[in-house]
Structure 1
Amino acid sequence: MLTLLAVTVVALVIGCAVQLIDRTHQRHSVFLLPGVALLTGLLGWVVMQFTGLGYHPELFWLSWSLPLVATVLVTVGTAWWLGRHRETEDAEALRRVTDT
């Protein structure tokens, strides 16, 4: 259970850090990136527990490190994808408003 708590706290910290670093954070919700990070971290932890890595003495470290690596990758990817796509959608919406 300590690994679950550690993954939860660190995933939230990663999500908040990516939210603060993201230059386009005003284009989406404040809780979106921390929520994505938390979901990724917890689902990764559950998958690692079901695969048995959390109970194997030599591979125990994988049950908390792999979900955090996945959390970083998915959260940064989400911020990049949302920032890029929302920018084009916002530009198109602004162009439609100014053209009419």
Structure 2
Amino acid sequence: MLSLTIVVLATVAAGFIIWASDKRHAKYGAALPAGIAAGVAALAWIILIAAGFGYLPGLTWLPWVLPMVLGTAAAIAVVVYVGRTRARHDTERLTAILRR
């Protein structure tokens, strides 16, 4: 259980770092990438432990590293998608308002 806690805390920290480094972070909340990263990492950890990878000699690193990588990648994907989508929608709405 300690490994799950460490994995979740590390991915939450990565999610906050990703949010802070994004130039469009004003378009969405700080908890979005951190929450996505934590959820994906926890789910990946649960799946890997249930599959038995946590206790195989030589593969004990897998439930530690892979969930952190997957959680960070999911947070990056969400930030890129949501940032672009919301920026585009905001520009379209502003253009429509200005044309009135």
After TM superposition, the score normalised by the length of structure 1 is: 0.94
Q: Which stretches of structure 1, 4 residues or more, deviate above 4 A after TM superposition?
A: none
Q: CA deviation at 1:7?
A: 0.2
Figure out how many residues of one structure are paired with residues of the other and give that number: 100
Q: Which runs of 5+ in 1 are unaligned?
A: none
- Where in structure 2 are the equivalents of 1:1-100 lying within 5 Å? 1-100=1-100
1:61-98 CA distance string (max 9 Å, x none): 00110001111211111111111111111100101111
Cα deviation for residue 59 of structure 1 reads 0.7
Report the TM-score, using the length of structure 2 for normalisation. Answer: 0.94
Cα distance in 2, alignment partners of residues 95 and 70 from structure 1: 37
Amino acid at match of 1:60: T
SS of aligned partner of 1:14: helix
The two structures, once aligned, show a CA RMSD in angstroms of 0.9
Q: Which amino acid aligns with 1:76?
A: I
User: After superposition, what is the alpha-carbon deviation per residue over 1:11-59, rounded to whole angstroms, capped at 9, x for unaligned?
Assistant: 1110110011011110012211111111111111111111110121221
Measure, in 1, the Cα distance between the counterparts of 2:74 and 2:65.
14
Q: Percent identity?
A: 29
> Which runs of 5 or more structure 2 residues have no equivalent in the other structure?
none
